[in-house]
Amino acid sequence: MNQYEIALVVNAKIEDDERTAVVENVKALVERFGGTVTNVDDWGKRKLAYEIQKMSEGYYFFIQFEANADAPAELEGRLRIMDNVLRYLVVKQEA
């Protein structure tokens, strides 16, 4: 099992319960592909470096998880089509 982290920027114009649902969906995807979530770090609302889809702010989440090597590609495929996810990045953490 490898250690990974997802940096997730979520639409700031949605309600709190919708934002929570997006994070829960990402955690469920990690578990569906055989991973286990170890930590979720909520950085809150931040100003974006540049506008994305005419938005200047977003909510930042960092989700650490353990998974097999094929899980990040599967996750990226699903994150790409999620409506309220503005940007994402999945990186492998060194041990």
Pairing of strands 55-67, 2-11: antiparallel
Domain of residue 70 covers 2-92
pLDDT tens-place string over residues 59-73: 999 999 999 999 999
User: Cα-flanking dihedrals φ and ψ of residue 75, to 5°?
Assistant: -65, -45
How many domains does the chain fold into? 1
Identify the sign of the CA torsion 34, 27, 58, 77: positive
User: Cα-flanking dihedrals φ and ψ of residue 53, to 5°?
Assistant: 50, 45
Q: Do the Cβ atoms of 5 and 91 come closer than 8 Å?
A: yes
- Please report the pLDDT score of residue 59 as a whole number: 97
79 vs 95, higher pLDDT: 79
Can you give the CATH number for the domain in which 18 is found?
3.30.70.60
pTM: 0.91
pLDDT tens-place string over residues 9-60: 999 999 999 999 999 999 999 999 999 999 999 999 999 999 999 999 999 9
